[in-house]
Amino acid sequence: MSDDYFKRVQRRVNSYPRWARMAVGLALILGGLLGFLPVVGFWMLPLGLLVLSYDLPRVRRWRRRLEVWWWRRRHGRGRPGPDRAAD
């Protein structure tokens, strides 16, 4: 994905007030804890953490590590393994 895409997402997310993002993130996490019920589910936990990651530094680091790992995995630029020579 291009840098322009990430800038557009960041701009869009920051257009909402911080209290609203925090409330939505917490509501998603609390709904995810009730994952055994129909409609609400465990899918809400990671989504809530993603929403909170824009405001909480610790969760932001987790999200950033996941982004870097995913990008390297998709582009084949991970750490050199036993079958890959280190450059």
Residue 31 lies in a domain: yes
Residue 83 lies in a domain: no
Please give the full DSSP string across 2-65, using - where no structure is assigned.
Answer: -HHHHHHHHHHHTTS-HHHHHHHHHHHHHHHHTTTSSSS-TTHHHHHHHHHTTT-HHHHHHHHH
Residue 16 lies in a domain: yes
The number of domains in the chain is 1
pLDDT of residue 43: 84
pLDDT of residue 87: 46
Q: What is the mean pLDDT of residues 31-51?
A: 83
Residue 71 lies in a domain: yes
Residue 84 lies in a domain: no
Domain membership of residue 27 as a residue range: 3-75
pLDDT of residue 75: 84
pLDDT of residue 82: 57
**pLDDT band of 1, cuts 50, 70, 90:** low
- Per cent of the chain over pLDDT 70 is 83
Residue 45 lies in a domain: yes
